[in-house]
Amino acid sequence: MITLENLTKSFPTPNGRKFVARNVNLTIPKGKSLALLGRNGAGKSTMLQMISGTMNPDSGRIISSGNVSFPVGFAGSFHRDLTGAQNARFVARIYGVDTDDLLDFVADFAALGGHLHMPVRSYSSGMRSRLAFGISMALKFDTYLVDEVTSVGDSAFRRKSAAIFKARMKESNAIVVTHSLIEVRNLCNAGAVLENGEVTYFDDVEEAIALHVSNMKKAK
């Protein structure tokens, strides 16, 4: 379970402060794969980074029961001058799992071929996402944070990603950011809409989708 208490985060802009979260209070129950929806620039990726602990809020706090993954798909998760394999081994040591087992899983799942042994700075964004998703799925987390990564790659890779994600969700929770409503319906059973620094939670993912679509139409 993850709880946001009086969470506030903003950034300065030429037109004043842009609020990603404005005194947000939210509890995400156990057993949920939550779609975090919102228009471009609403702050969905920033919210994931705060929940993961890689970015601090301005005020308020985030309480989590169990361990939370790094934001899968977030390019800052890795050291750019290390190879994909070296990054995988480094993450394995951090989480105390067998380095060879984790690397074998990543090599098979991410299907990067020889690129796995090249520096991450040479990767495309899609390759970085595949590496991040492979490493994350190789580890056991109580909550997975996923940012657009299940839409990366060809149809076969997307099917493989969805299948392993659903397998992990039998025992874990997730917060998923994606612009694909097909992916939302395929992967998520609850939803939250981020709009103007406020978050509206729905147990029914279809209700979240309806509000999100309405907000998008208003923005046009």
pLDDT in tens, 97-143: 999 999 999 999 988 999 999 999 999 878 888 888 888 889 989 99
Angle between the N-to-C axes of helices 125-138 and 84-95, in degrees from 0 to 180, rounded to the nearest 10: 30
Q: How far is CA 19 from the centre of its chain?
A: 20
- Would you state the structure tokens that stand for residue 115, as one six-digit string? 């690129």
What residue spans define the domains of the chain? 2-67+142-219, 78-140
- Would you state the structure tokens that stand for residue 161, as one six-digit string? 């990603």
CATH topology of domain 2-67+142-219: Rossmann fold (3.40.50)
CA angle 116, 145, 20 (to 5 degrees): 120
pLDDT at residue 74 greater than cutoff 60: no
pLDDT at residue 196 greater than cutoff 90: yes
Q: How far is CA 216 from the centre of its chain?
A: 21
pLDDT at residue 216 greater than cutoff 70: yes
In the chain, % of residues over pLDDT 90: 59
Report the C-alpha gap between 89 and 94 in whole angstroms. Answer: 9
The residues that bridge with 16 in the sheet, in sequence order, are 13
